[in-house]
């Protein structure tokens, strides 16, 4: 390998750079990238805190859907290929007493909603933040936080853990890496940087064995988030009856010949586009030229096309507002950013066009492009089983529509699907594995499913899969929506499953069909003794749908059920529920 000390001390002339690129392998170039980035960002920390020379490291992950696990697993493979002995472990299973013995620790963790840890990390997080967490003077660590910039407390769980480790005396290998929904490139840069720093100290061979590289290439799917499939839409069906207040669509999408496979509980990622009307509104508000040619990911494209297909316009987030404020120097916007409650209220319902109207600033097409967030794909729980509908993926999509300042607005993805897509069109899609929302491995286990509204989607897949498997475990569904006559999604299918035995029980809650509103949590409480009996017999409990209200209320109802039917105190009921979570028998897919 080229001598890195020469590289660091010599002038960066073109000949030397060319020589290095020709004399190093791809793996060594990755190492160089991480090594140099690490020196640039962590030199002061390393100078103050000499690294240990051990070649063993621990990588922990706390994941809700599996993304943190993916990052941690990839980091572990690279580290092992470079000669490290790696302990890879889920935070759900990690014995906290071991933390004080760790010397080098990498941790990857996601954040749920407004700053909450994923279920798998709840116990570890609570313990770490509490009084029993030990001092960690011998620990070197680095944290990678996965999150979503659309939330104010972006990556908060990872930031909290990073700060707590440092407060307990541990030494950072690098600053906490915060990764948005398009996390893969930033996460890879993080672990390459950290491994580069560690390898520098330990003088390790960083070349990746040919066998390891071949395995990585073999496991790489043809179609993924970065290379989506253009999939034909086979069917598009309105699920509500005439006169319904809601609008929910059923899509059947062909995966034929793609090689894409999924399991019940997984999601389909869909790349949407902004409406022409919203693009025009943004261009008019900023007085910019939609025909201007700009470079985007190696292509020269009209600015209007970039706005339509590649940038998020329908919602605002703190990062966009902060960058726009720094560019414009607007004092009013600066003050708004200092007040989290006012900021949250301001962002609700507003889009990029509103921002440009309310805080006008003379900026260029290039500047606006750099301020805006890349348009992330929308993930929808797959509402079908491959065993039941081979080479197809079905979706259940509620069209999000609302008014802001008396103007109609819509969700970017659901509006795109509802208004722009018809049978015969193609969608850019990929499979997103949801590692922790899966059927029991044992087909004899009973399952209880709570899925109001579009939360019904994965449970349609669950029941289809269990039917095809011939599972002996009982399937019990709780479903809710406003009205029986117009809003009973997949009514015919559920009644057929109930009659045929694929569904053991069906409890419904139509909240607006009587004077007192009845929701799924009320139906659960009515069936308290049977719910508890099934949990005692090893049943799995699943919740899918709205996080803020429904999921919270269902969990509170379940605690009440455990207390009353189990004859337990509140504290014992909380411990019981926590055990269900640790055993992964209480599982959520909420949004």
Torsions phi, psi for 311 (to 5 deg) = -120, 145
Give the per-residue pLDDT at 65.
84
184, 295: one domain: no
**Phi, psi (5° rounding) for residue 303?**
-60, -40
Tell me, yes or no, whether 11 lies in a domain: no
CA 380 to chain centre: 11
Round to the nearest angstrom and report the end-to-end CA distance of the chain.
48
Q: What is the CATH number of the domain that holds 233?
A: 2.40.30.10
Specify if 478 maps to a domain.
yes
The pTM is what?
0.82
pLDDT of residue 504 exceeding 70: yes
Domain boundary among 348, 371, 394: 371
pLDDT at 245: 93
Q: 510: which strand partners? A: 481
Q: What is the pLDDT of residue 216?
A: 43
| Residue 349 located in a structural domain | yes
CATH code of the domain containing 540: 3.40.50.80
pLDDT in tens, 469-484: 999 999 999 999 999 9
DSSP helix/strand/coil, 90: strand
For residues 164 and 243, membership in a common domain is answered with no
Give the pLDDT band of residue 23 (cuts 50, 70, 90).
low
Q: Determine the Cα–Cα distance for residues 92 and 102; give it in Å rounded to an integer.
A: 17
Provide the domain count of the chain. Answer: 4
pLDDT tens for each residue of 176-195: 999 998 899 999 999 999 99
d(CA 423, CA 407): 29
Residues 175 and 306 occupy one common structural domain: no
2 Cβ neighbours under 8 A, 6+ residues apart? 19, 20, 23, 24
453 and 423 part of one domain: no
Identify the domain containing residue 355 by its residue range: 276-371
**Does pLDDT of 45 surpass 70?**
no
**What pLDDT digit, counting tens, does each position of 122-158 carry?**
999 999 999 999 999 999 999 999 999 888 889 999 9
Alpha carbon 259 to its chain centroid, in Å, reads: 23
Query: How does DSSP assign 387-436, residue by residue?
Result: TTSTTEEEEEEE--EEEETTEEEE-HHHHHHHHH--TT-EEEEEEE--TT
Residue 7 within a domain: no
Predicted pLDDT of residue 591:
86
């Amino acid at each position: 390998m080229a001598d890195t000390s020469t590289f660091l001390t010599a002038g960066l002339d073109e000949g030397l750079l060319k020589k290095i690129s020709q004399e190093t392998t791809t793996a060594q170039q990755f190492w160089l990238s991480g090594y140099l980035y690490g020196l640039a960002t962590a030199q002061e920390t390393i100078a103050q805190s000499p690294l240990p020379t051990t070649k063993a490291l621990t990588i922990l992950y706390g994941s809700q859907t599996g993304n943190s696990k993916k990052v941690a697993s990839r980091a572990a493979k690279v580290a092992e290929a470079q000669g490290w002995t790696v302990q890879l472990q889920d935070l759900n299973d990690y014995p906290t007493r071991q933390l004080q013995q760790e010397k080098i620790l990498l941790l990857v963790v996601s954040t749920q909603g407004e700053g909450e840890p994923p279920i798998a990390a709840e116990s570890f997080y609570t313990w770490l933040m509490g009084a029993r967490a030990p001092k960690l003077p011998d620990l070197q660590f680095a944290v990678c936080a996965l999150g979503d910039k659309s939330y104010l407390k972006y990556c908060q769980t990872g930031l909290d853990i990073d700060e707590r480790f440092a407060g307990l005396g541990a030494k950072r290998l690098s600053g906490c890496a915060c990764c948005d929904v398009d996390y893969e490139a930033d996460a890879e840069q993080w672990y390459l940087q950290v491994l580069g720093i560690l390898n520098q100290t330990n003088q390790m061979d960083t070349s990746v064995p040919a066998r390891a590289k071949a395995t990585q290439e073999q496991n790489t799917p043809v179609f993924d988030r970065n290379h989506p499939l253009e999939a034909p839409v086979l069917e598009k069906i309105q699920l509500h009856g005439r006169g319904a207040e809601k609008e929910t669509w059923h899509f059947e999408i062909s995966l034929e010949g793609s090689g894409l496979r999924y399991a019940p509980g997984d999601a389909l990622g869909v790349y949407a586009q902004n409406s022409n009307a919203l693009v025009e509104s943004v261009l008019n508000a900023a007085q910019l030229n939609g025909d201007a040619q700009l470079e985007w990911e190696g292509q020269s494209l009209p600015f209007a096309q970039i706005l339509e297909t590649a940038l998020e316009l329908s919602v605002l987030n703190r990062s966009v507002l902060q960058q726009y404020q720094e560019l414009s120097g607007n004092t009013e916007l600066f003050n708004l950013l200092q007040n989290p409650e006012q900021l949250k209220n301001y962002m609700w319902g507003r889009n990029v066009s509103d921002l440009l109207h309310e805080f006008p600033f003379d900026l260029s097409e290039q500047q606006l492009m750099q301020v805006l967030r890349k348009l992330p794909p929308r993930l929808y729980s797959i509402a079908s089983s491959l065993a039941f509908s081979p080479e197809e993926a079905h979706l259940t999509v509620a069209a999000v529509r609302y008014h802001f300042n008396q103007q109609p607005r819509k969700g970017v993805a659901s509006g795109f699907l509802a208004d722009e897509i018809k049978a015969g069109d193609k969608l850019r899609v990929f499979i997103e594995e949801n590692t922790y929302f899966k059927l029991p491995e044992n087909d004899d286990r009973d399952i209880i499913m709570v899925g109001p509204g579009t939360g019904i989607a994965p449970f349609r897949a669950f029941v289809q899969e269990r039917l095809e498997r011939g599972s002996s475990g009982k399937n019990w569904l709780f479903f809710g929506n406003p009205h029986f006559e117009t809003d009973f999604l997949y009514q015919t299918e559920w009644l057929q499953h109930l009659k045929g035995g694929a569904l053991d029980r069906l409890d419904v809650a139509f909240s607006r069909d009587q004077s007192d509103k009845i929701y799924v949590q009320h139906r659960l409480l009515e069936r308290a003794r049977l719910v508890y009996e099934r949990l005692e017999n090893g049943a799995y409990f699943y919740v899918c749908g709205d996080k803020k209200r429904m999921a919270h209320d269902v969990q509170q109802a379940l605690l009440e059920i455990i207390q009353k039917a189990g004859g337990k105190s509140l504290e014992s009921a909380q411990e019981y529920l926590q055990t269900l979570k640790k055993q992964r028998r209480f599982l959520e897919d909420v949004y």
